[in-house]
Structure 1
Amino acid sequence: MYRTHNCGELTKKDIGKNVMLSGWIKKIRNLGSLLFLDIRDYFGVTQLIFTKKLLNNGFFLGKEFLIKIEGKVVERVSKNYKIPTGEIEILVYKIKILNKSIEIPFSIENNTDGNEEIRMKYRYLDIRRNTIKNNLINRHKLVLEIRNFLSKKGYLEIETPVLVNYTPEGARNFLVPSRKNSGKFYSLHQSPQMFKQLLMIGGIDKYFQIVKCFRDEDSRSDRQIEFTQIDCEMAFVNVNDVLFFFERFIKHILKKIKKINYRQNFTRISYYDAIKIYGTDSPDIRFGMKFIVLNEIVKKNNINFLIEKELTIGIKIKKSDWNIYNTDKKIDIIFSKIKKSNFLWIQYLPNKTFLYSKNCFFNKKILKIFIKYFKSRPGDILVISYGKKINTRTLLSEIRLIIIKNYHFKKNYKKFNPVWITDFPLLSWEEKYKKFKSVHHPFTSPKKEDIHLLNNHPEKTRSNSYDLIINGTEIGSGSIRINNIKTQKKIFQYLGYSSKEIQYKFGFFIKAFEFGTPPHGGIAFGLDRLINILEEDNNIKNFIAFPKNNEGRDLMTNTPSSLVKNIL
């Protein structure tokens, strides 16, 4: 027997009990004739007290030694009300070392001294920290809530193959050689896309799967080469059906996981409006700062510096939205991160004078024109970007994001503000390869009212697609799928596939369309990103038990590695 209780459950009601605990030594405090130890397990921490006489000669205890003790629960003199066991301690009368530990490479504390590289190399030690352990617990709770919610709503959890035929879906594939079929390969799936559509053709009404997916692309703080999707598909639905249901799904998650009762409808913005208003298809809409087009006022007032520019736009940062007062030096420091020069800033001061960037050559009259047009109040900052349309919106979007990250915005903003981005372009032209590519994927259906554009203006065709953005991060993406064989073949042709290639790569899928394919659609949420945003972190690796680093390597197992035969 290793324990009668765990290290997180004993309280004042247990005083007087004889108990047995097992765990790792977290702290050692030597007070001469007495030793105080903190012992830790999965459940918590308990303080131990015993005399040195209890230890035999040569008996040494170190941090992270695994020990088993027997002792009596007594009231603690110096209480620690920050932990559940902080009012008691164990007066130890028997101790046994279950396993020793070498010197640990970093402190196993919430605020550790270990950098990410060393913690990933010794990830099993990192998991002992409450920070990572609790992240994994919260992920488990989220997954459990997702499974329960979807199952109760009639969704059937079905596993689909991981080893599939190679089909291009956007990112690069991982390939697996076949031992039985020399010279041939499997591909690790990027998503269960075609299989879940085949399930709809097979008569399944609602499907979901919490599934590992694989994409051979660069890792980032919000991306891994292997990641987990909450994958869903429904038959006989349109865009509104999908958005309505999964809006309820996210509200349920917010209520159960974060205790937030989100009552209002999610904002919906078309892709084109998102680019026009925010310069990005994944905007953080919590902080306002919508783009204002200034071409008309520039032309009306004959502002020579800007009149020849294709687009001039600006945003207003309200003084009432932050808690710090700015000087031109502070503002320049924030904007110094931006390497491009085709923007300027103006601040209207309480004494009705101005601060402005070094490249702002406007006279006082023009400054007043902009202040009046933006309805600025003292302390507000205006940022103006100018140049080619696409570059100008991209630049101001970058500036807006830097402002959001650097200013201490007041806490009256919602912690979570989801927005649906809809009606993405169906196709985009790749000048380098002289062909179209799918903006979402090749199975996304065009909007009914844009079908007539497919023949002559495919680049103008909008799709029945949608992304869910929360606080500037894409959490989910989906679409209504093509269920017409002619339309599906036409999309493949626009993507540059010959009839032979279509048959070779997608023949089984196209064949299925001949057997009464229902209208259907779905969505996939990134589980890693979702738990990351819910817990307000900035690195999904903190919520994955054994993640890869930003180069796609597992530092603990030294993966990937060379295949060396007869290494011994």
Structure 2
Amino acid sequence: MYRNKTCGELNLSNVNEEVTLAGWVHKIRKMGGITFIDLRDRYGITQLSFNEEVNPNLFEKANKLGREWVVQVVGKVTERSSKNPHIPTGDIEIIVSKLNILNPSDMPPFTIEDDTDGGDDLRMKYRYLDLRRNAVRKNLELRHRMALATRRYLDERDFLEVETPALIASTPEGARDFIVPSRMNPGEFYALPQSPQLLKQLLMVAGFDRYFQIVKCFRDEDLRADRQPEFTQIDCEMSFVHRDDILNMFEGLVKYLFKTIKGIDLPNFPRMSYADAMKYYGSDKPDIRFDMKLVEIKDLT
């Protein structure tokens, strides 16, 4: 292993331990005869200290490092004289005794910070750099926790997770299919699923009365705020249930996700019939925050 600790786990209980860390050079601060380097991995940041009087060769080597260089260090954990309360490792630093450069780096085209100076196009061009930012990493971690919690909730309620095929025959749905040519059958094509609708209905007919899947779907349609050509959905199907059984089950899922992941207790969801939605809001997905209901005035005409 290139490390025995991560950059986010060390604290005062580790003082005087010799540790090995590996990660990316986040920041360099040169303070005359002392150089401080913030070493970053996905778990956090740890400060490294290089003293010219203690080890001039190592000090000179550290001063040649640049942002986003990948390095491995060995050193002793010590208590910091000037603590940083904003990070979990802010009470300690590493007095480095060995520095190994694993990979140098060109100067990044934008800063790897939450408030980066890179525009959208630039960050998408260098997506592998953008993924190093805390904001993006936290989104992926949130998605991971939501997927785990979803599986746990549905598994406890006897749902089976079943993977359905991604290459299927074209089915009549609301958008155009993405098609994939078949090499084995020239002139014929597969379609990528807009949803696993028919496949999960086959499972219901076969007796698998509770199915779910966190599944990729593909729809060849114009981009809109709520439309993407490729997206992931929590896809479910149930047999032998009434409408309220379905509403209660998945209202419970949303409440469970908010409680488990964010610690938020949601109240019971308000429910509205389709007829009332169309009558009072003229839409089957009304925005009820402003409660601007339609009023019929035909009696006055």
Q: Report TM bin, short chain.
A: over 0.9
Matches within 5 A, 1:48-63: 48-52=48-52, 53=56, 54-56=58-60, 60-63=64-67
Q: Higher relative CO (CA 8 A, sep ≥ 6), structure 1 or 2?
A: 1
Q: Is the 8 A contact 2:50 2:59 kept in 1?
A: no
- Counterpart check, 1:242 vs 2:246: yes
Matches within 5 A, 1:496-507: none
Structure 2 spans left out of the alignment, 5+ residues:
none
Whole-angstrom CA distance in 2 between matches of 1:237 and 1:23: 52
Name the residue aligned to 1:72. Answer: 76
Whole-angstrom CA distance in 2 between matches of 1:280 and 1:100: 57
Name the residue aligned to 1:151. Answer: 155
Shift of 1:232: 0.7
Whole-angstrom CA distance in 1 between matches of 2:298 and 2:197: 46
Aligned with 2:122 (options 118, 122, 132): 118
Supply the AA of the counterpart residue of 2:138.
N
Name the residue aligned to 2:146. Answer: 142
How many residues are aligned here? Answer: 297
Whole-angstrom CA distance in 2 between matches of 1:79 and 1:275: 60
Name the residue aligned to 1:84. Answer: 88
Q: Larger Cα Rg: Structure 1 or Structure 2?
A: 1
Q: After superposition, what is the alpha-carbon deviation per residue over 1:533-563, rounded to whole angstroms, capped at 9, x for unaligned?
A: xxxxxxxxxxxxxxxxxxxxxxxxxxxxxxx
- Counterpart check, 1:132 vs 2:136: yes
Whole-angstrom CA distance in 2 between matches of 1:88 and 1:58: 19
Secondary structure of the 1:136 match is helix
Supply the AA of the counterpart residue of 1:35.
T
Q: 1:221 to 1:78 in 2, by over 3 A?
A: farther
Shift of 1:238: 2.1
Name the residue aligned to 1:160. Answer: 164
Whole-angstrom CA distance in 1 between matches of 2:62 and 2:238: 68
Q: 1:144 to 1:251 in 2, by over 3 A?
A: same
Secondary structure of the 2:87 match is coil
Q: After superposition, what is the alpha-carbon deviation per residue over 1:155-174, rounded to whole angstroms, capped at 9, x for unaligned?
A: 11111111111122011100
Shift of 1:144: 0.4
Shift of 1:256: 1.0
Aligned-residue CA RMSD (Å): 2.0
Secondary structure of the 1:268 match is coil
Shift of 1:292: 4.8
Whole-angstrom CA distance in 1 between matches of 2:121 and 2:196: 32
Shift of 1:278: 2.9
Q: After superposition, what is the alpha-carbon deviation per residue over 1:30-58, rounded to whole angstroms, capped at 9, x for unaligned?
A: 11221111000011000111034224579
TM-score by length of 2: 0.92
Q: After superposition, what is the alpha-carbon deviation per residue over 1:380-424, rounded to whole angstroms, capped at 9, x for unaligned?
A: xxxxxxxxxxxxxxxxxxxxxxxxxxxxxxxxxxxxxxxxxxxxx
Whole-angstrom CA distance in 1 between matches of 2:96 and 2:19: 9
- Counterpart check, 1:284 vs 2:280: no
Q: Is the 8 A contact 2:112 2:129 kept in 1?
A: yes
- Counterpart check, 1:44 vs 2:48: no
Secondary structure of the 1:293 match is coil
Name the residue aligned to 1:187. Answer: 191
- Counterpart check, 1:274 vs 2:246: no
Matches within 5 A, 1:426-505: none
- Counterpart check, 1:96 vs 2:114: no
Q: 1:26 to 1:278 in 2, by over 3 A?
A: same
Shift of 1:221: 4.5
Whole-angstrom CA distance in 2 between matches of 1:133 and 1:57: 30
Shift of 1:284: 3.1
Query: How high is the sequence identity, in percent, across the aligned residues?
Result: 53
